[in-house]
Amino acid sequence: MVLGNQLRQESRSQVRLAALGFTSPLPGLDIDALFAHADAIRPENRIVLAESMAQYRGTKAQDAFDFLFTQDSDAVAIAAIDAALRIFYLPIVPLAEAALADRADGGSPALRDAVARARALFQLSYPEYILAYGQQVNQGGEGNQPTPPASPPTGLA
Q: How far is CA 22 from CA 5, 37, 59, 70, in A?
A: 13, 11, 15, 22
- The 8-class DSSP code of residue 45 comes to G
- Environment class of residue 143 by beta-carbon count within 10 Å: exposed (0-12), middle (13-18) or buried (19+)? middle
What is the DSSP-derived secondary structure letter of residue 55? G
The CA-CA-CA angle for residues 37, 106, 49, to 5°, reads 20
Q: Which of 116, 123, 83 is nearest to 100 (CA)?
A: 116
Mean pLDDT, the chain cut into blocks of 10 residues (157 residues total): 69 81 78 85 88 87 92 92 94 94 88 94 93 87 40 43
CA atoms of 18 and 34, how far apart (whole Å): 9
3 state SS of 20: helix
pLDDT at 146: 32
Q: What is the pLDDT of residue 114?
A: 94
pLDDT at 118: 95
Query: What pLDDT, on the 0 to 100 scale, is given for residue 150?
Result: 39
| pTM value surpassing 0.85 | no
